[in-house]
Amino acid sequence: MSRIAIVGTGAVGTTFAYSLMISGIAEEIVLIDVNKDKAEAEAMDLNHGQSFVKPVRLWSGEYADCGVAEIVVITAGAKQKPGESRIDLVSRNIAILKDIIANIKTSGFKGILLLVSNPVDVLTYFAWKFSGYEQQKVIGSGTVLDSARFKQLLAQHCEVSPQSVHAYIIGEHGDSEVPAWSLTNIAGVKLKQYCPQCDHNNFCHKETVMDEIFEQVRTSAYKIIAAKGATYYAIGLSLVKIVQAILRDENQILPISSILKDVYGLNDVALSVLTIVNRNGAGKQLSVPLEEKELQALQNSARILKEIITTVKY
């Protein structure tokens, strides 16, 4: 049975559970939370929809239920406040993470650990350190969501389907993230070649427009959090994409966060690069060609994260 354990039944955890239930790719879903009443209530509410989805066993459980899970998804942690960066959450969430990892290890869990709580790159790194698991077994949701935002905004501007847009955000899931414009294409056509055919008059040659689109990607979470307190719908769908790639051994190329092993000359830091995702978790990390300014921005993103890692006390 494919069991997914979700630690944390806040907005992100429960929205992911709902999306996962609808997708039909997991046979068992277990919700774990320090607030047991909340976990039980969420499981009850979700179970009332059983007649509308494919068969799935869903319940509120304990850390012991992680033992035979294929993936444990950690969404628990302090919530990002309006005006607060993801990095500001470090000190509050490291202590929570350390306790969660200890409980997961006690269960005998041998699967893939997927971090979602912010700052996801820093927490992915420390989840690896705390757990002692193999590098490829500890991954973060990274910039899969950021890349989806990037695609949607480009698609909206060019008036095409987001599914026809191939675009990636790499680096930190946060303020130092990097838009890989040189890799961006629409239906396989490089942006600079596609734009002359577009009704928007070669926007790729107008840096102000490019900057505006990326700024919307980078700051969209802040705007959503300021208005409604949290982001959860799109990240829930992003997590289904990652989990599906693992369960079905798809070898999907996704910008997940993982511990870098000599990629672009970077090591011993977790951030997002294009990575083959399969049954083993993070497969080969791809050093795809980047423009020099993109490479420098990626290295700067890694430097910022490494500086934060060295300051963390636990």
User: 254-312, pLDDT tens digit by residue?
Assistant: 999 999 999 999 999 999 999 999 999 999 999 999 999 999 999 999 999 999 999 88
Structural domains in the chain? 3-140 (3.40.50.720), 144-311 (3.90.110.10)
pLDDT of residue 19: 98
d(CA 129, CA 226): 33
* Residue 219 pLDDT class (50, 70, 90 cuts): very high
Task: Say how far apart CA 302 and CA 304 lie, in whole Å.
Answer: 5
Query: SS3 of 3, please?
Result: strand
CB 141 within 8 A of CB 265: no
- Cα distances (Å, whole numbers) of residue 125 to 120, 158, 184, 223, 276: 9, 37, 28, 27, 19
Q: Is the pTM of this model over 0.85?
A: yes
Percent residues over pLDDT 90 in the chain: 85
173 classed as catalytic: yes
**Residue 285 near residue 261 (C-beta atoms within 8 A):** yes
R_g of the chain, CA atoms, integer Å = 19
Contact 275/285 with Cβ under 8 angstroms?
A: yes
Residue 202 has pLDDT above 60, yes or no: no
Among candidates 102, 99, 146, which has minimal Cα distance to 120? 146
DSSP bridge pairs for 6: 31, 73
What is the token pair recorded at 208? 């102000």
Q: pLDDT tens digits, residue range 235-270?
A: 999 999 999 999 999 999 999 999 999 999 999 999
Average pLDDT of 83-101? 84
Decide which of 179 and 312 is more confident.
179
Q: Which two tokens stand for residue 147?
A: 């890349």
Cis peptide before 119 (omega within 30 of 0): yes
Q: What is the mean pLDDT of residues 32-46?
A: 98
Q: Which of 2-6, 125-129, 189-193, 280-284 has the lowest mean pLDDT?
A: 189-193
Record the tokens describing residue 24, joined without a space: 């039909």
Average pLDDT in the 196-211 region? 70
Supply the pLDDT for residue 86.
63
Q: How confident is the model at residue 196 (pLDDT cuts 50, 70, 90)?
A: confident
Q: Which of 48, 157, 166, 173 is catalytic?
A: 173
Lowest mean pLDDT among 25-34, 80-89, 197-206: 197-206
pLDDT at 314: 74
Per residue in 72-86, pLDDT tens?
999 998 777 777 676
- Average pLDDT value for residue range 220-245: 96
Average per-residue pLDDT for the chain:
94
- Cβ-Cβ contacts under 8 Å for 36 (sequence gap 6 or more): 60
| Tokens standing for residue 136 | 């490829």
Of 220, 211, 203, whose CA–CA distance to 143 is shortest? 220
